[in-house]
Amino acid sequence: MVYRRFPKYVTVGERKRKAENKLKKLMKKNPGMKPVRITGRAIATTWWGKAWNTNLEQYADYANRIGRGRSYVRHSAVLDLQVDPGRVTAQVQGSRSKPYVVTIEIKKISRPNWRHIKDACEGKFDSLKKLLTGKFPRALGELFTQTGKGLFPTPNEIEFSCSCPDWAGMCKHVAATLYGIGARLDEDPGLFFKLRKARMDDLVSEAVAETSRSILQKAEGKTGRIMEAADLSDLFGIDMDTGEEVSTYGRKYSVKPVAKRRKSETLAGKRKTRAAGKIAVPNDFTTVEKIIQKSPKGITTTGLVKKTGLDIARVRYVISQLRKKKRIKTPERGRYVAEKPARGRTGSADTAKVADLVIRSGKGITVADLTKKTGIDVKKIRNMLFRLKRNGKIKAISRGVYKKA
């Protein structure tokens, strides 16, 4: 008669001791290892860590298997966990002497989801601190964790592998790594945006920039000095009364409405300002672009804030718009230089020739006609037209037809 032998029982203390000894040996060769340490009863305590674990546990594909990794992560079995954009690598101590290698790939958040989230966050954040500490309205928390449309990945967006011989789709080493990510987000919530390839500061600055832009659109037809109370409330996130009395510490003060200036008065004021020799405030885009052009080695966002005196959110918004227009480029992260024009056959003479033909055409001229008359390649013609249109010399009256601006 054959009796099957059960594996020898290993106590929690022995498991932790084994993991600690292995970690000390590995750190001698690789001091940059980042183990996952669980100090309290809960694996995660902050909003981002809890939301990460809750998101994984709500899926039926993971619910029956992810629990296998709780004891592993609590017993310090995750010896190393590295978070990179869209990728997590870990070493997990198992039954063998050599740790198992776990790799988890997570897809970038989709553009429609990111756009939807940015629209919902418009005007809600004025600093990264509120975002990272999880101090935001409950409605935003529900939006972030919405299945399939929020910030957190679904099983279809997660792929994983492990070097262990376990045939299961999700082994306990992968499960421990997933819980380890939640614990790591307690230490640095910014790693979540790094993992999902999304810039957290863009979420804040974009929200502030879009709010300012929408307020300026509402204020069209009024002077630049007057703002409605509702606009100020949206911008600064405060409630403002529009009545005639405001109560402060039990005392009431009457508030008189500000009279709107006439258009003629505004124009007269501008003429007086010019006559007095006062210099108008330069455009933020022009100011930032000129500073970048004068910095051949490049300049950082902090340097631009110091030289322009603008708010950091405004500087980041201007930089994003200049990059979209390909006026500046980023040789390395956080440093910006001017975009040099490409050299080639389409020089100043050819561009001037194309511009002359477009300007002389009364009803407009097509790209095909420009190609026939100049003998220049159609791709280069389109590039010249794009630059001339950007400089305000010509305009498009319909698709592929251009005339003088």
| DSSP sequence for 53-85 | HHHHHTSHHHHTTGGGGHHHHHTT-EEEEEEET
Cα–Cα distance, 249 to 256 (Å, whole number)? 20
Cα–Cα distance, 222 to 169 (Å, whole number)? 63
* Per-residue pLDDT tens digits for 72-100: 888 888 999 999 999 999 999 887 888 89
* Per-residue pLDDT tens digits for 288-299: 888 988 888 889
| Residue 386: HSE in the Cβ half-sphere, 13 Å Cα cutoff | 10
Q: What share of the chain is helix, strand, coil (3-state, %, to 5)?
A: 50, 15, 40
pLDDT at 231 over 90: no
Mean pLDDT computed over every residue of the chain: 76
Cα–Cα distance, 128 to 136 (Å, whole number)? 11
pTM above 0.95, yes or no: no
Cα–Cα distance, 224 to 312 (Å, whole number)? 22
Catalogue all structural domains in the chain, each as residue range(s) with its CATH number. 12-107+128-196 (no CATH), 281-338 (1.10.10.10), 348-404 (1.10.10.10)
Cα angle for residues 16, 18, 19 (degrees, 5° grid)? 65
What separation in angstroms does the CA of 303 have from each of 110, 200, 292, 309, 398? 32, 21, 10, 10, 42
Q: Is 187 helix (H, G, I), strand (E, B) or coil?
A: helix
* Per-residue pLDDT tens digits for 268-316: 555 554 444 444 345 788 888 889 888 888 898 888 888 888 888 888 8
Largest CA-CA distance found in the chain, in angstroms, rounded: 111
pLDDT at 237 over 90: no
Amino acid at 38: I
Q: Is 306 helix (H, G, I), strand (E, B) or coil?
A: helix
